[in-house]
Structure 1
């Protein structure tokens, strides 16, 4: 047995509720084993909340939509290039002794995540993305901002995801990681349904204010996210 969170969209900040679900876990690294675990998790969740619509967001999802929404596959499109949320996230890390390693934008998602420099450059001190600096606190602020912005750009996917209200990521273990694409997806859906998406994405500061309740800070100057 295992325990994993399912992130359910709610109407108030932080716009998600983490619901822990105990389910039968199928060990092994194959896609088939991962998908058995996903099905087990969803079955248990649906028994608890039969009115909720759940979607697995990961490269192991049995849903084409869920695979497309994985940070490994969800793409950012700028005027000059296309790269995944995962590549953008990893390439934005600034360490004591190096970074940001923007060459990771030209790598595959898997290559970017496994780049040895991310573990050999000392302590993580901030994020730098599109000439904008992001603090480490709140801990999942930059990742959620990046994912929600990117999903908003992908209109076809955004149109489909709002048909769901609960999201899982079989690979995510809250004991080992902070950032979660399922959580970010729940935030996106909540903001969309509350008609707060446009306001939240006006600037980094507005995202902090709307999602995290942090008062607006004037020195959070904003550049258009996809202008580069």
Structure 2
């Protein structure tokens, strides 16, 4: 058995998401078929609890939109280049012993995550893009903000296609071992959209960070 979260947008109030955890039968293994069995198991458990429409946000999603919204599929516009979101995130890290390693911007998402410097340069102290420094607190704020920056100009499309969803899952996200979740980032985006604060939050990191901090203080 395993327990995984579903992230639920909050369409009014100051909180940016809710989280509900569900237990289900876990199918071990790295095969895509095993991953999708786990997605189905999580979604069935959520449905039995009243969350009938949950979209998996990852490359393991059975829905094309879920795969398109994966962090491995998104691009971040930087100058005149479109950089894979995951590569931008990893390459912007500044550690106690080095960084940012902006050559990672030119790597694939998988190559970016596996770059040895990410593991051997010490603790993250902040993030940096083109000389601008971004705080690393709360720990997930920069990742969520970059995710939202990739998508906020498509707000109308997202609203049309996702407003009926009860929540979002990310089967690879284990809160006991991981910090970032693309499903949580999307739930936050949808909450900001519902209250009319998406564009200003995507364009102002400190504003976004303050909203995230208030949400985590209530969890």
Give TM-score, length-normalised by structure 1. Answer: 0.87
Matched residue, 2:186: 185
Equivalence map 1:15-164=2 (5 Å) = 15-50=16-51, 52-154=52-154, 158-159=158-159, 160-164=161-165
**Structure 2 residue ranges without an equivalent (≥5):** none
Q: How many Å apart are 1:209 and its aligned residue?
A: 3.1
Equivalence map 1:187-202=2 (5 Å) = 187-202=188-203
Q: Judge conservation of contact 1:9–1:190 (CA < 8 Å) in 2.
A: yes
Say if 1:87 and 1:156 are closer, same or farther in 2 by CA, change over 3 A: farther
Matched residue, 1:5: 5
Q: How many Å apart are 1:164 and its aligned residue?
A: 2.1
Cα RMSD of the aligned pairs, angstroms, is 1.8
**Structure 1 residue ranges without an equivalent (≥5):** 215-228
Matched residue, 2:171: 170
Q: How many Å apart are 1:177 and its aligned residue?
A: 0.8
Q: How many Å apart are 1:146 and its aligned residue?
A: 0.8
Matched position secondary structure for 1:59: coil
Number of residues paired by the alignment? 213
Q: Deviations over 1:46-92 (max 9, x none)?
A: 11014x52100011111111111111111123342112211111001
Higher helix share: 2
Return the alpha-carbon distance in structure 2 between the equivalents of residues 162 and 147 of structure 1: 18
Return the alpha-carbon distance in structure 2 between the equivalents of residues 117 and 189 of structure 1: 34
Q: Judge conservation of contact 1:165–1:186 (CA < 8 Å) in 2.
A: no
Q: Judge conservation of contact 2:155–2:193 (CA < 8 Å) in 1.
A: no
Q: Which has the higher contact order (CA 8 A, sep 6+)?
A: 2
Question: Which region of structure 1 is more displaced relative to structure 2, 143-152 or 160-169?
Answer: 160-169
Matched position secondary structure for 2:60: coil
Return the alpha-carbon distance in structure 2 between the equivalents of residues 69 and 57 of structure 1: 6
Give TM-score, length-normalised by structure 2. Answer: 0.90
Aligned structure 1 segments of 4 or more residues deviating by more than 3 angstroms: 153-157
